[in-house]
């Protein structure tokens, strides 16, 4: 496991604190809007225009384009709002778990089963 | 005084709602999880609590990070569920209990807990999944629910000891309510899990089982953890244990464990279920 952000005290974990909440405000606000079907439709119609409406930074826009979940977290995304973006992409928590850990979905699920049984 | 008769802990993840909607309860994946619930449903149907005080966390439905309450309490007569961006089916309105809610809110603020008091509050899967689990077919309309929402999403978050104290203060408020109504407490969420980052998929079965033991016999032990301890031991979202700790703080009399189930993984979490009976001190 790589530690991409050495300022975070727990490896592989992005604590969503005041600094991140400020950095990711527009991004999270956009994702919060995805609670509404009309917002999801508007995003799907023209993602760039929708990102612009919420003042996303270039890095955030790139991470949205690339479906880069880790990138979104590093740019201030909160998992609770990023999850709504994942929902829009029809991805569930295990799908995005696999994306973030760089595993296949089956390997990610197998890891959960091992850990759940106390084997790991 | 109102009588606190017992408590239930349960997971509240959206995948459970989807499994129920898809009638997947008896599939090999879900059976070990759903098999835990009938004894708890039976207890609730026999004891018929008038009110449920339900601790949960909002996952970005009612509260956005523009304003993030540390502790919030609903004081409405009715609560509504809404689209969370996930495609989970919305469920019928939840009945509130505004008189006891206001009594608890007044008492809590007097005791130093600066609650956000909500006359309108959309309730998400954190609250609705436990109700659907306990009363399948969404037959929970007869039960009055008081939502108590604890911030588990944005740091700074209240620490476990503070959540335990909140529970104690709520217990005191319920006991001072001039009514013969019966109250059960729900602690929802948890246990070990991590959704975000390269460490996504973290689970800690041993810790989860220890927590369930301590919750019954020695909850003060759990209040020694910091939120960061919980993140390190069980993963980022293990902070949801705070809702269970708050639940346990409400119970000050004799606590008897009537039933438990633990199964992991359910989606990405360790899913624990406890039924605790509570006998008020004479």
Residues B148-203: tens digit of each pLDDT: 999 999 999 999 999 999 999 999 999 999 999 999 999 999 899 999 999 999 99
B12 is catalytic: no
The pTM is what? 0.96
A88 CA to chain B: closest CA distance, Å?
7
- Range A93-98 average pLDDT: 93
Answer whether A54 touches B (CB < 8 Å): no
Residue in chain B lying closest to A31 (CA): B85
Identify the CATH assignment for B3-279 out of 3.40.830.10, 3.40.1190.20, 3.50.50.60, 1.10.3470.10.
3.40.830.10
Burial B166-180 (b: 16+ CB within 10 A, else e): bbbbbbebbbebeee
- Taking only the tens place, the pLDDT of each residue in B209-259 is 999 999 999 999 999 999 999 999 999 999 999 999 999 999 999 999 999
Chain B residues lying within 8 Å of A25, measured CB to CB: 65
- Residue B59 annotated to the active site: no
> Of the listed B12, B125, B263, B278, which one is catalytic?
B125
- Is A28 in Cβ contact with B64 (below 8 Å)? yes
Q: Name which of B154, B200, B264 is nearest A100 (Cβ-Cβ).
A: B200
Fold of A18-89: Protocatechuate 4,5-dioxygenase; Chain A (1.10.700)
Q: What is the dihedral of CA B257, B259, B265, B269, to 10 degrees?
A: -50
According to the model, what pLDDT value does residue B88 have?
Answer: 74
Task: Write down the pLDDT at residue A7.
Answer: 63
Q: Do A84 and B206 touch (CB under 8 A)?
A: no
Is B85 in Cβ contact with A84 (below 8 Å)? yes
Phi, psi torsion values for B122, nearest 5 degrees: -75, 135
**B197, A13: Cβ pair inside 8 Å?**
yes
Averaged pLDDT, B4-20: 94
Nearest to B273 by CA among B151, B190, B203: B190
Q: What is the pLDDT of residues B83-130, one digit of tens each?
A: 998 767 788 999 999 999 999 999 999 999 999 999 999 999 999 999
Would you list the domain boundaries of chain A? 18-89
Q: What is the pLDDT of residues A56-80, one digit of tens each?
A: 999 999 999 999 999 999 999 999 9
Q: Is A88 on the interface with B (CB under 8 A)?
A: yes
Q: Is there a contact between B196 and A73 if contact means CB atoms under 8 Å apart?
A: yes
Given an 8 Å threshold on Cβ–Cβ distance, is A35 in contact with B85?
Answer: yes
- Interface with B, mutate which of A40, A68, A93 (most B CBs under 10 A): A93
Is the confidence at residue A4, as pLDDT, over 60? Answer: no
Task: Provide the residue ranges of all domains of chain B, joining segments of one domain with +.
Answer: 3-279
Distance from CA of B270 to the nearest CA of A (A): 7
Of B82, B86, B201, the CB nearest to A112: B201
Asked whether the beta carbons of residue A78 and residue B61 sit closer than 8 angstroms, the reply is no
Which residue out of B12, B59, B103, B193 is catalytically annotated? B193
């Amino acid at each position: 496991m790589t530690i991409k952000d050495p300022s975070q005290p727990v490896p592989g974990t992005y604590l969503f604190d005041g600094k991140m909440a400020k950095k990711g405000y527009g991004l999270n606000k956009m994702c919060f809007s995805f609670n509404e079907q009309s917002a999801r439709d508007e995003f799907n119609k023209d993602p760039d225009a929708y990102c612009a409406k919420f003042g996303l930074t270039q890095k955030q826009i790139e991470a949205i384009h690339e479906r880069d979940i880790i990138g979104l977290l590093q740019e201030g995304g909160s998992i609770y709002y990023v999850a709504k973006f994942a929902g829009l992409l029809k991805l569930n928590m295990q799908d995005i778990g696999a994306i973030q850990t760089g595993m296949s979905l089956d390997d990610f699920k197998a890891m959960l089963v091992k850990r759940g049984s106390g084997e790991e | 005084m109102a009588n606190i008769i017992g408590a239930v802990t349960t997971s509240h993840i959206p995948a459970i709602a989807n499994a129920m909607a898809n009638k997947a309860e008896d599939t090999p994946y879900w059976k070990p999880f759903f098999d835990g619930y009938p004894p708890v449903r039976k207890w609730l149907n026999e004891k018929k609590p008038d009110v449920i005080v339900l601790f949960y966390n909002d996952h970005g439905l009612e509260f956005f990070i523009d304003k993030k309450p540390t502790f919030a309490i609903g004081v409405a007569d009715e609560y509504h569920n809404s689209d969370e961006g996930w495609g989970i089916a919305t469920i019928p309105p939840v009945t509130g209990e505004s008189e006891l809610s206001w009594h608890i809110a007044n008492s809590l603020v007097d005791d130093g807990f600066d609650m956000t008091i909500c006359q309108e509050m959309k309730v998400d899967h954190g609250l609705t999944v436990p109700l659907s689990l306990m009363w399948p077919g969404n037959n929970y309309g007869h039960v009055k629910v008081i939502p108590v929402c604890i911030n588990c999403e944005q740091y700074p978050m209240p620490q476990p000891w503070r959540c335990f104290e909140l529970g104690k203060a709520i217990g005191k408020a319920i006991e001072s309510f001039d009514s013969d109504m019966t109250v059960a407490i729900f602690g929802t969420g948890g246990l070990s899990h991590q959704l975000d980052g390269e460490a996504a998929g973290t689970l800690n079965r041993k810790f989860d089982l220890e927590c369930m033991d301590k919750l019954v016999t020695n909850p003060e032990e759990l209040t020694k953890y910091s939120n960061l301890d919980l993140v390190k031991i069980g993963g980022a979202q293990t902070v949801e244990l705070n809702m269970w700790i708050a639940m346990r703080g409400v119970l000050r009399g004799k606590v008897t464990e009537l039933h438990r189930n633990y199964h992991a993984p359910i989606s990405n979490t360790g899913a624990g279920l406890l039924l605790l009976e509570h006998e008020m001190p004479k």
